[in-house]
Structure 1
């Protein structure tokens, strides 16, 4: 196994950080790695806002649901889907910007942001830094947009906490590969695989919490997905100029 694969497969979310700063050199390497990721049509539909200001990080931690690690870590990156540059390109070529009139732009933007975030994650972890992605950046998206002064056709997709770990958390088990990798066509016989994984996750949680919690995977997912847990996203997208044709 080479070092790149080892880094990817050793990923775990870090939620405890020292107060040591992320160097400018490391930040530049992380951003360059994120920029090197693939993007649809080479449109490069991603903007990364780096936040190191303590007051702004504190506010973002509150907007994301009081996630203390955003406030604690020295660096917070916000990955945005960005069609503002595409708008400028359209203006330069006297062409309409039609892609934002349909869902394709949202799918493309979110996909590109996710690919870029993963490249940044691998780069950061290869440098010995810890990370944790933050979907909660979409919890109060209109306030995030105002705080970061995002223009039309730009919206926050996910955040990424980056810093020096003070606690190397346990690696969380993943679904069995048979539940995720389906050969030639979709495997519809998943229930027993999920039940087996539930048992594994329950044991992991008991060890992690010294017996205080034995939640399994399906319990966690069903509890979260029973509602639209970030209900302001649609209004945010509409305000930013995106349509749902």
Structure 2
């Protein structure tokens, strides 16, 4: 297979970084690949905030649930679902922005952010940089919105830590491809067996990396999925103009 595919298949999250800056040339290239990702209807409803200031990264690390690697790595990208640009177009044409009333706007923004982030991940890892995506930026979105001065019709969907790795983490096993790939239609028949098999594999992996308290995939996943673990998202989305009402 080609080098790009091998880079993507060897992905791992890095949570320890050396004290080395990333050049502005590389940052510009990473922004370029993010902007090159497809967007729904060419609406370009996302933006990226590049955060290099250490104090600001430290504050984000606290807001994201005290994740020290955000402050440790030299650069943090915040991926923002951004319909503020569309609002400018609406005002220019003296028309009403309606899309943000719907779940479709949230879906479109989330998908477009994911596509752009994956472009950055692949590019960064091809340059021997390490990354870790941060969903924890949604822990306290109101404070993050205030900190980064996000206008109405924008929302912080995800963040990405980028830096030079201090070490390489173990490659986390994935479920058997039979649990991931479905041909022609969704096949439920083997899933329970495949998940049991994966739980056993994850149990061994977690022991190897000293995180055996997480037990396995089923136990660890359900610790989170028995609750809404980012309960401030919905009210802050409403405040930002994302009504999600139709």
Q: TM-score range by the shorter chain?
A: over 0.9
Corresponding residue of 1:66: 66
Corresponding residue of 2:56: 56
Alignment of 1:30-179 (within 5 A): 30-179=30-179
Q: Which aligned segments of 4 or more residues in structure 1 are displaced greater than 3 angstroms?
A: 211-214
Tell me, yes or no, if the aligned pair for 1:206 and 1:214 is still in contact at 8 Å: no
TM normalised by structure 1 equals 0.97
Q: Deviations over 1:51-94 (max 9, x none)?
A: 11011000000000000100110001100100000111112222
Deviation at 1:214, TM superposition (A): 6.1
Corresponding residue of 1:235: 235
C-alpha distance in 1 between matches for 2:89 and 2:165: 41
Corresponding residue of 1:193: 194
Tell me, yes or no, if the aligned pair for 1:203 and 1:214 is still in contact at 8 Å: no
CA RMSD of aligned residues (A): 1.0
SS class of match (1:11) = coil
* Change in CA separation of 1:106 and 1:22 when aligned onto 2, cut-off 3 Å: same
1:23 matched to 2:23? The reply is: yes
Corresponding residue of 2:218: 218
Give unmatched runs, 5+ long, in structure 1. none
C-alpha distance in 1 between matches for 2:234 and 2:199: 32
SS class of match (1:41) = helix
Deviation at 1:244, TM superposition (A): 2.1
Tell me, yes or no, if the aligned pair for 1:134 and 1:159 is still in contact at 8 Å: yes
SS class of match (1:131) = strand
Tell me, yes or no, if the aligned pair for 1:201 and 1:217 is still in contact at 8 Å: yes
C-alpha distance in 2 between matches for 1:27 and 1:223: 36
C-alpha distance in 1 between matches for 2:88 and 2:127: 35
SS class of match (1:59) = helix
Q: Which moved more, 1:88-97 or 1:76-85?
A: 88-97
Corresponding residue of 1:207: 208
Corresponding residue of 2:8: 8
Aligned residues: 244
C-alpha distance in 2 between matches for 1:213 and 1:169: 18
C-alpha distance in 2 between matches for 1:7 and 1:99: 37
Q: Deviations over 1:33-54 (max 9, x none)?
A: 0000111001111110111101
SS class of match (1:174) = coil
